[in-house]
Amino acid sequence: MKHDQSLGSQLVGLSVLVQRRHAQICADHCLTPAQAQLLCMLKDQPRGMSELAGLLGLAKPGLSGLVDRIERRGLVRRETPEHDRRAVMLHTTPLGKETVDALWADVGASLPDILDVLPAEDRVHFERMVTAIITGPGACGGGC
Amino acid sequence: MKHDQSLGSQLVGLSVLVQRRHAQICADHCLTPAQAQLLCMLKDQPRGMSELAGLLGLAKPGLSGLVDRIERRGLVRRETPEHDRRAVMLHTTPLGKETVDALWADVGASLPDILDVLPAEDRVHFERMVTAIITGPGACGGGC
DNA sequence: TATTGTTATACTCTATAACTATA
DNA sequence: TATAGTTATAGAGTATAACAATA
């Protein structure tokens, strides 16, 4: 068996493969991957800008712009809590919720296709290992 | 065992994890991930712009700009073959070769850390499965 | 003074359309 | 006419620095 790539570069290859497909699915829903990730983190609870910037691994100005663009499209809404008028809580709108639900349904339905090359019992094993990796130490919450 | 995420979204999560680390390693070498991927594809052979655009999944104008930026830094060199003076062959310079070799050594050395949560025999199995996925149908050559 | 966010600026990546030079 | 690349333009993403408002 040929083995001319390091495990590191194979992981990058897998990641590129997944991200290309993911970007295509996002585009089908008129979203960018960054917007999809942001929406996903707001799906179940509103969050403040600083918290979100941390979760997404972004600097705050970058998040401000990201939020501007999807707020313009009516997918999220900025709200100022009374107890701290510096802060902003970000909520999804009903349209935003609907959009992100439809997106993740598609992601769940078509991304796992890339595992079709594996025999069924390997797919189950693979899934367990991926779960361990993304919930282990070093996980960044990026996948939402 | 809790299981509240689809396999699709877990794959995206893994991919985000890998890409964040990869982007950091690229930054340590003063490269963006797109530049790293381009250099990697030129590592062993010169290529034409159209071929590269296809391999990278880019439109040709996007590639022109990408090449401009790393050519300015002396990592690649445009060359016109005599037999077709419309064409451009892209070569890595010695500096480019050195840079990409150092980068991929670091990727190979530190990216596999994310698998430390798995027992050793699982890591071997995981690696075999990743190899199958990225060399299977649907593979895009993106990982280089 | 410290914290929360935004504005200003700049650069990279990427897309589409129009263009140039060569075949 | 068809092909190989480039230029023009635009929008998204992200970074740093400077700023405003509130605590």
Q: Which tens digits make up the pLDDT trace of B64-123? A: 999 999 999 999 999 999 999 999 999 999 999 999 999 999 999 999 999 999 999 999
Residues in chain A: 144
- This prediction has a pTM of 0.93
**pLDDT at A22 exceeding the cut of 90:** yes
The protein footprint on chain C, as nucleotides within 7 A of a CB, is 3-9, 12-18, 21-23
So what's the pLDDT on residue B141? 64
- Taking contacts as CB-CB distances below 8 angstroms, the residues of chain B near A131 are 3, 10
Q: Where are the alpha helices (DSSP H) in B29-93?
A: 33-42, 49-56, 60-72
Q: Which residue of A has its CA nearest to B143?
A: A13
So what's the pLDDT on residue A52? 97
pLDDT tens per residue across span B44-75: 999 999 999 999 999 999 999 999 999 999 99
Distance from CA of A68 to the nearest CA of B (A): 23
Question: With an 8 Å Cβ cutoff, are A6 and B104 in contact?
Answer: yes
So what's the pLDDT on residue A3? 46
| A-to-B residue pairs, Cβ atoms closer than 8 angstroms | 181
Sign of CA dihedral A11, A17, A19, A25: negative
Q: How many Cβ atoms from other residues are within 10 Å of residue A33's Cβ?
A: 16
Quickly state the pLDDT bin for A2 (edges 50, 70, 90). very low
pLDDT tens per residue across span B11-22: 999 999 999 999
So what's the pLDDT on residue A136? 79
The span from the CA of A9 to the CA of A15, in Å, is 10
So what's the pLDDT on residue B136? 79
Quickly state the pLDDT bin for B125 (edges 50, 70, 90). very high
Q: What is the dihedral of CA A124, A128, A129, A134, to 10 degrees?
A: 130
So what's the pLDDT on residue B143? 67
Give pairs for A29-32: CB < 8 Å, separation 24+. A29/A99, A29/A102, A29/A103, A29/A106, A31/A99, A31/A103
So what's the pLDDT on residue B144? 74
Q: Which of B1, B11, B140 to mutate to test the interface with A (most CBs of A within 10 A)?
A: B11
What mean pLDDT do residues B39-44 have?
Answer: 96
- Taking contacts as CB-CB distances below 8 angstroms, the residues of chain B near A26 are none
Quickly state the pLDDT bin for B3 (edges 50, 70, 90). very low
Nucleotide nearest residue A56, measured CA to C1': D14
Partnered with residue B122 across adjacent β-strands are none
pLDDT tens per residue across span B129-140: 999 999 877 776
The secondary structure element, H or E, covering residue A90 is: strand A89-92
Q: What would the two tokens of residue A102 be?
A: 């439809």
